[in-house]
């Protein structure tokens, strides 16, 4: 028995100990970007994925992370148009921007080199941003996807935080490619571009998979500074119909003060049994108005900031 145990000492030495379970999830961007995890963001083309990644890269560089942006998707002319040099490359010594026009090898060879370096915790404090996944692997090939994702997982296990941009499938409801991609990443967001003013890229990120305490969120990227500003998700994602409803309800409460639910719905041009409108009253509760049940009747008032 002793001989048997001695032969497998390497297993005991490598097994998890109690102290290994004290590690807690840290965030580089609270509630959105978990440290030492793999985050995948997918969307149709033209929704602002690269702008999102530029802003993440800048934020991470500003807080002292070692940032490696691996861009095998955007041509150099696009990077020039978007002022990537002025806003990223020349601004941060702790950021390296790798682009296909200058890198002498294939994306696959680059990932293999990184994988060979992924020993111990060598990449602790590093952030790798992939733009985009399809440039590193045939995403529809299960075997190739598994091999590529295993290498990226090795970066994570060596301490890295990884952000991967990816494309939607044809109907836009899911990411494109192998299920091995989903199984290998920790967190997945679907990105949707929202309306914004000139120079602003507003985006809504819906959680599609999570292994940490992340949640749906909305951000504004300023194309002139790459600032990454959180938005109130309820306001940012309102439809035009919801905007009209909120405007009508707000105006009614400003004019007449506390109002019961039935009268408020009628003032907004809605019937008292309109489930959609009643749902909107609940959805924007606490943001635009508050309610209290008095003698069995719900009465609404504007919250202080909108009064």
Residues 140, 148: contact at Cβ < 8 Å?
no
7 pLDDT more than 80: no
Other Cβ atoms closer than 10 A to 20: 8
Give the tens place of pLDDT for each residue, 58-109. 999 999 999 999 999 999 999 999 999 999 999 999 999 999 999 999 999 9
Give the tens place of pLDDT for each residue, 268-281. 999 999 999 999 99
Domains of the chain: 24-234 (3.40.50.300), 240-306 (1.10.10.10)
> 212: pLDDT confidence band, cut at 50, 70 and 90?
confident
> 172: pLDDT confidence band, cut at 50, 70 and 90?
confident
Query: Two tokens at 33?
Result: 């970007």
Confidence at residue 22, expressed as pLDDT on a 0 to 100 scale = 66
Q: For all residues of the chain together, what is the average pLDDT?
A: 93
Mean pLDDT of 285-302: 91
Confidence at residue 257, expressed as pLDDT on a 0 to 100 scale = 93
């Amino acid at each position: 028995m002793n001989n048997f145990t001695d032969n497998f000492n390497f297993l005991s030495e490598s097994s998890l100990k109690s102290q290994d379970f004290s590690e807690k999830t840290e965030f580089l961007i609270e509630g959105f970007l978990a440290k030492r995890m793999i985050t995948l963001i997918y969307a149709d083309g033209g929704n602002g994925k690269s702008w999102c990644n530029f802003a993440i890269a800048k934020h991470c560089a500003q807080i002292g992370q070692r940032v490696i942006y691996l861009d095998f998707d955007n041509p150099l002319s696009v990077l020039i148009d978007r002022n990537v040099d002025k806003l990223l490359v020349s601004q941060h010594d702790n950021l390296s921007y790798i682009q296909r026009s200058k890198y002498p090898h294939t994306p696959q060879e680059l990932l293999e080199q990184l994988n060979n370096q992924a020993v111990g915790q060598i990449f602790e404090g590093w952030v790798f941003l992939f733009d985009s996944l399809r440039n590193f692997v045939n995403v529809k090939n299960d075997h190739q996807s598994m091999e590529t994702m295993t290498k990226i997982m090795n970066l994570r296990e060596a301490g890295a935080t990884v952000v991967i941009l990816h494309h939607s499938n044809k109907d836009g409801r899911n990411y494109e490619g192998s299920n091995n991609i989903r199984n290998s990443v920790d967190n997945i967001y679907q990105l949707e571009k929202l309306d914004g003013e000139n120079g602003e890229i507003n985006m809504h990120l819906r959680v599609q998979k999570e292994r940490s305490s992340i949640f749906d969120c909305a951000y504004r990227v300023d194309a002139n500074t790459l600032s990454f500003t959180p938005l109130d998700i309820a306001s940012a994602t309102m439809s035009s119909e919801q905007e009209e409803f909120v405007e009508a309800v707000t105006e009614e409460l400003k004019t007449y003060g506390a109002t019961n639910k039935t009268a408020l719905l009628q003032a907004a041009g809605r019937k008292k049994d309109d489930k959609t409108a009643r749902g909107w009253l609940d959805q924007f509760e606490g943001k635009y108005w508050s309610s209290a049940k008095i003698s069995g009747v719900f009465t609404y008032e504007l919250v202080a900031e909108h009064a």
